[in-house]
Each structure stands twice: as C-alpha cells, then as structure tokens.
A and B are shown apart, each in its own frame.
Chain A
C-alpha cells in the first residue's frame, strides 16, 4: 500500500473516529496505537518518510472523564499501588499532559547482564541507544544531550557538597528537565504539516486480529465511546499505549493465541516494575550553607538541571545491588515541627495540587485539626517567606512555559532529608493480569499486583548505609536515620507512580521475553511495542527519555524494513 493510494484521507489530517465513513476501512503502511511520548515521537520520525502513517488515539484533545474511566481497574494491594486510572492519561498527548519532565538517559550498567540482579539482561547496549538520545532530548525539550557538569557547563559551578569525595558516590551527573513538554500540544502542528500522517481521535483500539496462522496481525477494530466501530488495516502495527495498557491489549486479544498475543510463555504482564522512591533521615552537613548547592543550575539553553548523589557502577557491582540516586531534600512537609512557612503553605495548598503530585508531597494521612493549626501558625510566623515563595511559584511555574521543576527550599541551617530514587529489580511475580470486570467495549480491565523483593530493600538499605558511612568518613556530615525504617519509607506511598515498566520485556529468549531487540513480538512479524513495557530493567532513571529514544530507533528500523 503506498501513500498515493490513500490521498483521499491524507488531506484530512486530524479527524474524529466518530466522523469516519464506516463503509471504508482506514488503511496505512504503519498504524501506531497511542499518542503519548512514544507514539508521537515515532510518528514525527516517520513524517515525510513516504510511508502512510495512521496514529490512533483513544482520547480527544482534552481530558474527558468518561474516556479516563476506561483506564480503571483493580489493585491487589492498594497500599502498594495507586488505582490504574491515576498516574496515566487517556487523551491526546497521553501522560505527558501531566508528567514532571525529569530526563536522564539510562546508565551503561543498566543494560548489562548483572548476575546479582535476576533477569537483568538487555539485548541491546547503551551504544545502540546513544545515537537517538540527542534527538530524544530535543523532542523532550531538555536541551543538549549532556548529563555531566563538565559537558553541560562551560564555566565552573560551585560543587554540590564542597569536599565530598567518595569512591561509592559521584555528584557530577545531572538530571535535566523538560518544560515539561506536553507532546500532544507541542507537536500537533508538526503532525498536521506532515503530509503522510493522519491522527484519528476517539479511536479506542478494542480488538487486534491475528491471522489464522497466528504469525501476523490482519487488522484492528476501533470504537468510539458511543459504539461506532471501524476497521483498520495496515502493514505494520505498533502499540504505544503505555506500560499498563500494552499488557492489557496483548492479554485480552486471545482468540488465535489462547494466552494472548506474544504470551505463549506466560511473560506478558509479568516483571512489572516502577521505581522505589522515598524520603528518609536527617542529613546534618558540617559545612556552611555557602559550600552546598542543592538547587537547580540553568544551562545556556535555558534548561533546569540538577545534580544528584549517584551510586557508582563499581560499587553497585561490588555490593551486588541495583542502581540508586539521592538528592538533598527539604524536611517532610506533613510535620509542622519543621517550622518552615513555605512547607506549611504547601501543606495547606493540598486541595489545589493535582492528586499525582499531592500524594508524595503530603501523603495520604489524615491530619488532625491541631496539625493543621500548627501549619497555619508556621505560615503566619513567616509571611514574607510564604509570599515570596507564592510569587516564585506563580511567576516561574504557573505562568512560565518552562516551569521551575520542583520545590526547592533554602534551609536556614545545613540540614536536609534525603530523597532517593532507586532501581526496582525485575520480579516475575509482580504483574498485570486481566480482571473479571469489563469496560464498555467488553475488554477486560486490568488488575495490578505490584510486588517488590528483598533485593529492592537491599539496594536502598545498603546505598543509604554506604552514604551515611561516607559522610562520616569524609567528616562532611552525619546522616541520622533508622535502618529498620528503610523498607517502610521506600513503600510509604507505594510504587513510584507513572513509571510502568517491563510488562512486555525485550530479550533474545522467547521463553523469558515478549519482544526482540527491535521491539517486535517474537512470533508476530508485524506487531511492535513502543513503550517502557519493553524495558527489561528499570534503572535509577525516569523512563520517558529512553522511551522516546527507543521509539526513534524503532522508527528508523520501520523505515529500513519498509525500504
């Protein structure tokens, strides 16, 4: 099928599935399901490639509660995982409409087979992704692909913690922040101007048809919420529906493949990972505040960058633990004992902060009236601090296109808490399955059974213990924390929200993986996955930059195979 034969629909670049003529199937060379970070990056890379591209999106241009409920499902342990209709968005732009924008590439070690981390083998290396990271950075609007202080800044900056030299931790690597870019709104004009892309909104993919021999996909069925159905035909199909929905779609299409697509060996939905994150302890630093920098640096291209305390690869290997980073953080907001007007203001502003962000800021705990009153007192004691902060948030966050990424509180003394973000190990028993309940299209809803392992507790406990030791040995400071509380703190708010990883993992062995190194289902020659679902391991890094890099790599592969 060539683009010329599709000219009739090519002229209408963005349409609603409800307006499509049902007597004619929509056809294309490549059909991408889902218009989040993955789907849009893939489509943009295929722009003007000569291949007709159909981009199907379940939602509309704005959030719609009825569409969002199609994401709801059940959770085995609600203390450990948030409901599946939170921390993801079913709309044009996908979850990038609410993401935080923290970008960093995976580390070299993340791709290695680490004997001490079960199932930790990627079939590709950092080298394979490196050519795509700069463009991924551009699409995420995170500036240059430069993730160390030396490469990102021409002029020297003050150290993060003066005098802190450690064999176990580095402090020169960076995270860079996207605007955060809503991929839908940012790139809609690019999709419009590409002559070969058609975006269909309100196109819920409800069925994926496998050919009788099970070796290829012959079509998709889409439906609008009011039941208007339509047939889609393409040479190649890509699921870019996020880590949870990809598993759902693969599992629920089980007419030819009895266990679901790509699931002959019961791998789809398993190895489900998020990240392990939390805030712990009190770090007293024996240095004046002027020798510390825990805030943002702004790169020449205007991007907010932040340094972290990162566990070195050598130490990960020696200690046989996963990847780990930590940041200097403010005291826990919920505790009025911090006596900080700004933190108390944030506490009181909880009703105005979106659920996904409020959860980690405030926890789910119900505060007593007394606690509430103490926070009010804190605000009254520091009205200028609170007003200054409110102004900064309005100017640099609310009304800025490039938003100040997070809350940075300048402490009055060199005392911080430690905010950590760690790799979760792949665990065969942590999984997404289909539940009993069905949505309006008759598609089974998911059940999330997220589980962590001793290995995960070990990664966090040993990293924190090492950091405490290094602080002490270098006489930089002391980290006070209760080692017994590590497991509680790392699961206090459950799995880190919004990072849905590993449910259709990449590998060379079809018994332990779902897709091959080009993200194609092992046994279905024209079905691909573009998502963090394919990551075999989770790294310390947030997933989106790598999702985009992998999508760009996939686009190139699709262009080459089409040629």
Chain B
C-alpha cells in the first residue's frame, strides 16, 4: 500500500470540502472495493475521507411511493430491512445475494453505485426501478447516471447521499453467479413500473449495466416467465472473458429473466 492520510468528517459539507481540496482525496464507504485496490497498489489516495461518521448518510425510509436508502446503508441491512422486504422484495433479495456475508456486513449501496462495476448487482435494480440518485449537489435519474464501464455521472468530489427507489407494481431479480468471484456473470432485474416495463442487465454488457429492449418489448405484451424465456438477445455488445463468451451471456439473459419472474432464480 502507498501511504495516505485519513479523515473522518461528520457532515456531508465537511466531507465535500476535504474532497474538493485535492483531486487525489477519495471517499471511503465500506472499503470492500476500495481497500483491495489500494492493497494491490492500483490506487494511491491522498486522503481517504471515511463517510461512516456522517449520520445523514444512513437509514431507510418510506416516503410516499418511494423507498429512500442512505448511501452508507450496508447490503446486509437492506436485505434484512422490513420496509424494503415489504415494498420491494426483489431489492432485498438482490442485496442478500451480493458477494458473501462478510462483504454484505460492510459494503454499502452508495459505494456500489459510485463504483459502477460492470458486474455489480445494485446498478441493475437502480436502472430497472428508475431510481433517483441523490447527491451532495443534485438529483440524477438512473437513466442519466450510468455512463459506461466503471463510469457514472458523478463529478469529482460529488457524494451520493441516498438513492430513491419508486415502489414498482412487481419486480424480480435473477443472477447467475460466477462462483470464484461471487459477482453475477449475468444478473437481470425486471420491473413493472409507473413508467412501463423496465429490464436491466448487469454482468454482461461491455459498457456496464444496460436496459434490454428485447426483454422490455416481450414483457410489455406478456409479463411472464414463458415470454421472457422466448426472447432472443443479440450478443453484439456483450462481454467475452475467461468466464463466458458473449454468446453464452446472451443465452443466459432470457433464462435469468424467466427464472426471476418464476421465482426460481
């Protein structure tokens, strides 16, 4: 590890001040992605700004027809939370399937969405549910937030404060796990929302999470496991790596969507 400084502010304003003082300064949430990259010397922070002392970043509330989750809320908390389980059970299930129990005890929703790993679980839920990412300076709709491989609309120094998920009429998540990394090789989140049927795919796209038009069209006329399974997804922009070819991932997308809807994923 390179040397770095450490700060633990207690307000978003103080964190933002430290972060904007030097572009090498970085927010530290659960550290389940950041600390491994620092250990590998792939990242050399100036000051790590630990967000865990900022009270306004935690908590889960229901505000009318949305569920608002603070950025520092852990995956284990979301998975076990009665409000989330009641309103969006698919989201609780997604959180409860991330990595392993120790990662879920420490890793956070804000860290996951800020990182936007092309194989992370949460981006699929945020995109399919048409979530709004609330930051220290503005509100960003999910459709504008995800901008490609490990890339988001966040400006340097901008902090995710919370994520607001509109409660869908129905939603389901299915993931095919890559056993060694524990990340999804393909994860599909489907939802019946106020703005229509939305289906988002993670783990498969070369540019990270994406909405799958073929699935959305088929599920709009028939929201069923059978309709999902019959969909053909083109392999053109999908990832090929040591785990699976683009064709294999393309074949898995309708299967994961179908199993998600059938409740067998």
A, B assembled together: no
Listed in ascending order, the chain B residues whose CB lies under 8 Å from chain A are none
Give chain A's interface residues, CB within 8 Å of chain B.
none
